[in-house]
Structure 1
Amino acid sequence: MLTYTYNHESSNNHQELSLANQQLILQALSSMPMQLQQKEKSLQIENTKLKSENIELQSQLNKIENKQQELINEIQDLKQLVKRVYQEGEVQIQYQKQKNQQLKYKNESLTKALLNLQNNLETFAQLKNLSRYIDDFEISRNSVMEDSYIQ
């Protein structure tokens, strides 16, 4: 009898365990939709947050892209300005080179004219001295002639 009782108790335990397991499984299955709903709700909340962050990041990206385009346009404008200034500088340099060349020619001409003038002044001074000498000579000759005529 001992064995029977043991077997009977064992069978009762097994049925109780089986019933407890079934209840646990039923509880787990019944609570599973609620857990899934809660998980789905938290995922929806997270999804909404991520969508909001995505919209904000897209807005920031658009602002950055617009700023980038503005900077690209500004760089292109500056390149054109530098190119124009360089070209104007080249034109100015060519103009100044031509003007310097003209001034060199004028300077050379004026230097030659000055030398000619100095030579002419020296010649004029010599001619003036010669003229005085001739005048003095004629005066003294006339004086000598008058003296000899008077005598």
Structure 2
Amino acid sequence: MLTYAYNHETFNNHEELSLVNHQLILQAISDMPLQLQQKEKTLQMENTKLKNENIELQSQVNKLENKHQELINEIQDLRQLVKRVYQEGEVQIQYQKQKNKKLEYNNESLTKALVNLQNNLDTFAQLKNLSSFLNDNNEIQEEI
């Protein structure tokens, strides 16, 4: 009889454990949709947060791309300006070279004219002296 009681008690314990396990399983299964809903809600919130961060980052990328393009345009403008200034400088240099050549030619011409004028003055002085001498000579001869 003792064996029967022990087996019966063990059976009851198994049945109770089985019932407790069954209840825990049912509780876990009933809690699972709530846990899944909470997990889904958490994931949706995280997804929304990431979308907002993505939008903000995309906005920053767009601003940087616009700034990059502005800098490229500014560099191109500066290159064109440097090229134009260089070309204008080349034109100015050619103009100054031509002007210098013209001035050198004028300077040579004026130097030659000055030498000729000095020679003419020397000749005129000699002629004046000769004329004076001849006048003096004529006066002497008239007196004689």
TM category (shorter chain) comes to: 0.7 to 0.9
* Counterpart check, 1:130 vs 2:130: yes
The number of residues matched between the two structures is: 144
* Counterpart check, 1:110 vs 2:110: yes
- Cross-structure match for 2:92: 92
Amino acid at match of 1:57: L
- Cross-structure match for 2:49: 49
Secondary structure of the corresponding residue to residue 101 of structure 1: helix
Post-superposition offset of 1:113: 1.1
* Counterpart check, 1:14 vs 2:40: no
Post-superposition offset of 1:10: 3.4
Distance 1:60 1:104 in 2: 64
Cα distance per residue 1:29-62 (max 9 Å; x no partner): 1111101100101111111122222222222222
Distance 1:108 1:28 in 2: 115
Moved more, 117-126 or 11-20: 11-20
Moved more, 105-114 or 10-19: 10-19
Post-superposition offset of 1:23: 1.9
TM-score, structure 2 normalization:
0.87
Post-superposition offset of 1:26: 1.6
- Cross-structure match for 1:23: 23
Amino acid at match of 2:30: S
- Cross-structure match for 1:58: 58
Distance 2:99 2:45 in 1: 79
Structure 2, unmatched stretches of 5+, are none
Distance 1:2 1:139 in 2: 193
Amino acid at match of 2:45: I
Amino acid at match of 1:67: K
Distance 1:128 1:23 in 2: 151
| Counterparts in 2 of 1:13 and 1:124: CA distance versus 1, 3 Å | same
**Percent of paired sites with the same residue:** 76
- Cross-structure match for 2:77: 77
- Cross-structure match for 1:38: 38
